[in-house]
A and B are shown apart, each in its own frame.
Chain A
Amino acid sequence: MASHAAPTAQSPTIPAGLSRDQLLEIYRYLRLTRTLEERLTALYRQSKVVGGLFRSLGQEAESVGSAYALERGSHRDLMSPLTRNLGSMLVMGAAPIQILRQYLARAESPTGGRDLNIHFGDLERGYLGQISHLGDMIPVMAGIALAFKLRREPRVGLVYIGDGGMSAGAFHEGINFAAARRVPLVVVGEYNHWAYSTPPRKQFAVEHLADRVKGYGIPAVSVDGNDVLAVYEATRFAVERARQGKGVHFIEVKTYRRKGHAEHDDQHYVPQHELEWWAKENDPIDRYVQRLLGSGWAEEQELKEIDERVRVEIDAAADACLGEPAPGPESALADVYGDPPAAERLWFRSV
């Protein structure tokens, strides 16, 4: 068993210029993501979640590691997540209670109950709400990065796409547009092996997603998506390269979707031995814990304390959220346009 002492002169150097506090912060985001999803799963089973529940089990590292490489803070870098990037949103500053309110469709949710799960954004904090149509966020983020470039702001955009979404036309239009205009955009391609129930061999004829992207004339690398520090390091490099005006960069993160498309999906199409292998041998949080402890960068007790603080935080957020009201029905009519401020209330409601 590895030594659990605090870092000593013998500990390996922490990679990628990170500090010990940052390593622990990364751990906290990984744990926060998983614990929040576990709580959401419990709420889903109690029928408290109004719609579907989308898990990122097994993909926490690629989300947290990539978002952690961005400059965070008011009006800095801007990121557009997909449905398995809860961790990225937490890193950018989304609060667990906002996620809970979204799933439980509460009045105070970021979208006022109009959209579901992690479909919401906060441009000031640096994340843009997604839509369900895969690929569409690539052109939109290309436009955001274009605005950064036109205004000569030292800001970078980061957008996620899955192995499934990479077959959508908007992805290709958007990444080509961004590459041609050399806008500061980093594209993270999540190879999680399942587009709902469809495996890679039915989706494309290449081995690596990066191979599909090289034709756009941009650098494309593949990294171990379950190694949070490797993802961080690769993204950090791409982000700084983009910030220097060198254009678009693609990072393929190899990972595995360990739950069904959503909670209702029993994954009968997934080979059991694959699931077991990824859970036992390649869980991104287990791997990170082993590395932290094995390298002497953290002590077991510190991690346990973080786990406990996260549990208390999620408990408090869930308790608060459960007591909150649903949106008032007529609020559905507002904000379709800036002007007029509300849609017409139809006549039969007043007969």
Chain B
Amino acid sequence: MAEVTYLEALRQGLWEEMERDERVFILGEDVGSYGGAFKVTEGFAKQFGEERVIDTPISEAAIVGAAAGAAHMGMRPVAEMQFIDFISCAYDMLTNYVATARYRAGLPTPMVVRGPCGGYVRGGPFHSQNVEAAFFHTPGLKIVYPATARDAKGLVKSAIRDDDPVIYLEHKWLYRRIKERLPEDEEILTPIGAARVAHEGNDLSVVTYGATLWKSLEAAEQLDKDGVSVEVLDLRTLLPLDDAAIMRSVKKTNKLLIVHEDTRTGGLAGEIAARVNEQAFEWLDGPIMRVTAHDVPLPYAPTLEDFVLPQTGDIVKAARWLAAY
């Protein structure tokens, strides 16, 4: 069992799929000999050749569109957005072309669009975004968001093998911060559509994903000391949501706090709350509450960013308030 970072686990997952399946290829900005802005594809061009690790112009719509075309032809492209903030430049291609292809034309489009997301890194308004809500509303896309090294590897492998288009969101704050021992002789495949209980508890449920999984786990540890038992559910896949896992946890603890790094209005927490209301209303012993970023573009200065984003202390206070309700 070697200890690997979240980034290394992602890299291993991509590498293994490139080795396993010659239909898999990577395209994106600076992914080739440079190895990607965060070095996720370092060494890939040398190993697999520049035909399978394609440096592209700065053209996100072309990157995603070309990936879709190649996918129609039976290839398994993995398109990298250098920062996920730039996926908005390919929004039309993803929502209008890719997401509808199977439904309107019977065209399978097995492709992955991946890229570094998220804040807590002083990236400012255009290198810190979370984009899940923009695509969550689009039938035909799947969205995964690993929080652990194991899932970084297991979800990228599953995403590449999936017959539907998958947006794979990776958190840059976790890239080198998270380390985990992963078995070397076992193939890791995290199923798409399955959440995971990251911490067992009885008094309330925290449903979260991405970087705020770790902040929620920190909060759960602190609350344990106060005698508040928190269950933390890591969604791992955002589209489709694992309703069964969410309801199971809510029916066990009877209280729900939803935590995400993305802004509040129109964020995923609203949809999760609506589903719990529809499917588990009678089990609730308190209001469904949210801890999210404030509804502003993400600012650069540490004092500002720290204020805007949800912090461990915020989760502790919110959970304590809800537990006492």
Q: Give residues in A with beta carbon < 8 Å to B.
A: 111, 114-115, 119-121, 123, 128-129, 131-133, 136, 138-148, 150-151, 169-170, 173-174, 176-177, 180-181, 335-340, 343, 347
A181 CA to B71 CA, complexed, in Å: 17
B248 at the interface (CB under 8 A from A): no
B117 at the interface (CB under 8 A from A): no
B: interface residue count bin: 35 or more
Do A142 and B61 have beta carbons less than 8 Å apart? no
Do A138 and B105 have beta carbons less than 8 Å apart? no
Bitwise interface map of B from 60 to 96 toward A, beta carbon under 8 Å scored 1, else 0: 1111111111111111010000000000000011001
* A contact residues around B51 at 8 Å (CB): 150
Do A131 and B97 have beta carbons less than 8 Å apart? yes
B325 at the interface (CB under 8 A from A): no
Q: Give residues in B with beta carbon < 8 Å to A.
A: 25, 51-52, 54, 56-57, 59-75, 77, 92-93, 96-97, 100, 102-108, 139-140, 142, 162-164, 240, 278
Do A336 and B103 have beta carbons less than 8 Å apart? yes
* A contact residues around B92 at 8 Å (CB): 133, 136, 170
Do A173 and B59 have beta carbons less than 8 Å apart? yes
Do A170 and B65 have beta carbons less than 8 Å apart? yes
Q: How far is the CB of A19 from chain B (nearest CB, A)?
A: 32
Residue of B nearest to A157 (CB): B69
Do A150 and B59 have beta carbons less than 8 Å apart? no
Do A142 and B69 have beta carbons less than 8 Å apart? yes
Q: How far is the CB of B184 from chain A (nearest CB, A)?
A: 30
A336 CA to B72 CA, complexed, in Å: 16
Residue of A nearest to B110 (CB): A338
The one of B54, B62, B102 in contact with A337, judged by C-beta atoms closer than 8 angstroms, is B102
A338 CA to B39 CA, complexed, in Å: 32
Do B65 and A139 have beta carbons less than 8 Å apart? yes
Do A173 and B61 have beta carbons less than 8 Å apart? yes
Residue of A nearest to B99 (CB): A336
* A contact residues around B61 at 8 Å (CB): 136, 139, 169-170, 173-174
Do B105 and A129 have beta carbons less than 8 Å apart? yes
Do A174 and B62 have beta carbons less than 8 Å apart? yes
Please list the 8 inter-chain residue pairs (A to B) with the smallest Cβ-Cβ separation, ordered nearest first.
A139-B65, A143-B69, A143-B66, A147-B73, A173-B59, A173-B62, A338-B163, A144-B69
A145 CA to B73 CA, complexed, in Å: 9
Do A144 and B73 have beta carbons less than 8 Å apart? yes
Q: How far is the CB of A155 from chain B (nearest CB, A)?
A: 9
Residue of A nearest to B66 (CB): A143
A115 CA to B107 CA, complexed, in Å: 13
Do B74 and A147 have beta carbons less than 8 Å apart? yes
Do A138 and B97 have beta carbons less than 8 Å apart? no
* B contact residues around A146 at 8 Å (CB): 66, 69-70
A314 CA to B183 CA, complexed, in Å: 65
Q: How far is the CB of A85 from chain B (nearest CB, A)?
A: 16
Do B66 and A140 have beta carbons less than 8 Å apart? yes
Do A144 and B64 have beta carbons less than 8 Å apart? no
* A contact residues around B139 at 8 Å (CB): 336, 343
A123 CA to B108 CA, complexed, in Å: 11
* B contact residues around A119 at 8 Å (CB): 104-105
A121 CA to B109 CA, complexed, in Å: 14
A119, A128, A139, A143: which has the most chain B beta carbons within 10 Å?
A143
* B contact residues around A139 at 8 Å (CB): 59, 61-66, 68-69, 93
* A contact residues around B73 at 8 Å (CB): 143-144, 147-148, 151
